[in-house]
Amino acid sequence: MALILELAVQGAQMMLVLLLAPLLTGFVRKVKARLQRRQGPSLIQPYRDLLRLMRKEVVLADNASWLFRVIPYLIFAATWVAAALIPTFATGLTFSWTADLIAIVALLGSARFFLALAGMDVGTSFGGIGASREVMIASLAEPAMLLIVFSLALVAGATQLSTVAAVMGSPEVGLRVSLGMSMIALVIVALAENARIPVDNPATHLELTMVHEAMVLEYSGRHLAMIELAAFLKLLLYVSLISCVFIPWGLVTARAGPASYALGVVVYIGKLAACGILLAAFETAIAKMRVFRVPDFLGAALMLALLGTLLLFVSRSL
């Protein structure tokens, strides 16, 4: 019985991230529009977009290979598994030990690997430009991310997210310079990984500065729906990660009652909303960078993360 309940909570977590992801993107768009004095599309517009894409026919390039048609599902699956492994409203779920933070980063790496390949499959210049820029950004963002993971693991003594969240929520952690550095670095990495301003503009098309949209330019219909959903999931994943590590309060421990689970979900949605507003405000306040300024931006994240880690190696209390 207990096992069934635990599996149900695990399943609820998987469905929750899937259902909330488009809403978060819609929310960020709405807040951004309001900050720019526009009305903005409705909150549920991303769901409508997904449904519309699914109903449309697929226009496939003549020389697209089987890989091109399989990749959307692979990207979606890898991102979904990664997103479901991050504690959202509860820690210590049944399968939370399946992968630690390093593996979650690597799962996202797999998704990106295949997305970059998809960009190159049809053999147009757009796909190539997107893929080559994506791997350039990733080659800086991934080491920064792993150094952040090192810092967190050194503070918490674990790379297991449930343990990390539990330690971060405990009073003995307190304010630390290294954690502050890691947080800034993680935010920068999250902006880059999610193709947000100032690294990339998720709302643009046919502009030579674009990265993510250039790779998926040839996708249409149901394939595009899968890729869009994976992108929504990725944003949710990073927001959940930041909130579970740096604002870990309100997380329910495993095997709590249904009431505390419900409370946990409400708190989680509150955190998502807060992070969404901050993201929208940041994106409104800043302009997009030229593509070769991005390495400087990510280099700052890399340096901050490395400094944070070194500080921790020098002294465990900094």
Partner 1 sequence: MTSIVALLLWGVAAFLGTAIVAVAISRRGSATYLVYGVTLAISAVMFAIAAAGLTGDPAGVSTVTLPLGLPWIGAHFRLDALSAFFLVVVNLGGTVASLYGLGYGHHEPAPHRVLPFFPAFLAGMNLVVLADDAFTFLLSWEFMSLASWALVMAHHREQDNTRAGYIYLVMASFGTLALLLAFGLLAGPDGTYTFDAMRAAEPSRFVAAATLVLMLLGAGSKAGLVPLHVWLPLAHPAAPSHVSALMSGVMTKVAVYGFIRVIFDLLGEPAWWSGVVVLFLGGLTAVLGILYALMEKDLKRLLAYSTIENIGVIFVSLGLALAFKANAMPSAAALALTAALFHVLNHSFFKSLLFFGAGAVLTATGERNMEKLGGLIHRMPLTSFVFLVGCVSISALPPFNGFVSEWLAFQAILQSPDLPQWGLKVMVPAVGGLLALSAALAAACFVKAFGITFLGRPRSTAVGQAQEVDRYSLAAMFILAALCLLAGILPGLVIDGLSPVTLSLIGNRMPVQMAQPWLSIVPIAESRSSYNGLLVFVFIAISASLAAFVIHRFASHALRRGPAWGCGFPDVTPAAQYTAVSFAQPIRRVFGTFAFRAREKVEMPPPGATAPARLTVEIHDVVWETFYQPIAGAVRFATEKLNHLQFLTIRRYLTLVFLYLVTLLLVLALWP
Near partner 1 in 206-235, by CB under 8 A: 206, 217-218, 221-222, 225-226
- Name the one range near partner 1 by CB under 8 A: 23-31, 126-134, 238-246, 268-276: 126-134
Beta carbon nearer to partner 1, 220 or 284:
220
Q: 252 near 90, Cβ under 8 Å?
A: yes
Pick from 125, 171, 285, 317 the residue near partner 1 by CB under 8 A: 125
Question: According to DSSP H, which parts of 157-257 are helical?
Answer: 161-169, 177-193, 212-215, 221-246
Number of residues that bind partner 1 (CB under 8 A): 86
CA–CA gap between residue 225 and residue 76 (Å, rounded): 10
Which two structure tokens, joined as six digits, stand for 23? 């809403």
Tell which one of 116, 188, 239, 275 touches partner 1 (CB under 8 A). Answer: 116
Query: What is the distance between the alpha carbons of residues 139 and 299, in angstroms, rounded to a whole number?
Result: 11
Q: Which of residues 16-55 bind partner 1 (CB under 8 A)?
A: 54-55
Report which of 143, 162, 7 is spatially closest to residue 85, judged by C-alpha positions: 162
Asked if residue 318 binds partner 1 (CB under 8 A), the reply is no
Any contact of residue 267 with partner 1 (CB under 8 A)? no
CA neighbours within 13 Å on the CB side: how many for 256?
A: 18
Q: How far apart are CA 259 and CA 263, in angstroms?
A: 6
Binding mask 180-199 for partner 1 (x = CB under 8 A): --------------------
126 binds partner 1 (CB under 8 A): yes
Q: Residue holding tokens 């970059």?
A: 116
Query: Residue with structure tokens 């992070």?
Result: 275
* Least Cβ distance, residue 54 to partner 1 (angstroms): 4
128 sits near partner 1 (criterion: CB under 8 A): yes
- From residue 58 to residue 77, the character string flagging contacts with partner 1 as x (rule: CB under 8 A) and all else as - is xxxxxx-xxx-----xx-xx
Regarding 150 and contact with partner 1 (CB under 8 A), the answer is yes
Residue 289 binds partner 1, judged by CB under 8 A: no
173 is a contact residue toward partner 1 (CB under 8 A): no
Distance in Å, CB of 16 to partner 1, minimum: 15
Q: In angstroms, give the least distance from the CB of 260 to partner 1.
A: 22
Tokens of 10: 């695990």
- Give the shortest CB-234-to-partner 1 separation in angstroms: 15
Strand, helix or coil for residue 194: coil
Which residues share a beta bridge with 90?
A: 252
Listed in sequence order, the residues at least 6 apart from 179 whose beta carbon sits closer than 8 Å to its beta carbon are 151, 155, 173, 246, 308
> Is-contact 176 207, C-beta < 8 A?
no
Candidates 34, 56, 255, 293: give the one binding partner 1 (CB under 8 A): 56
State the sign of the Cα–Cα–Cα–Cα dihedral 37, 42, 44, 47. Answer: negative
How far apart are CB 246 and partner 1 at their closest, in Å?
Answer: 20
- Shortest separation between residue 266's beta carbon and partner 1, angstroms: 26
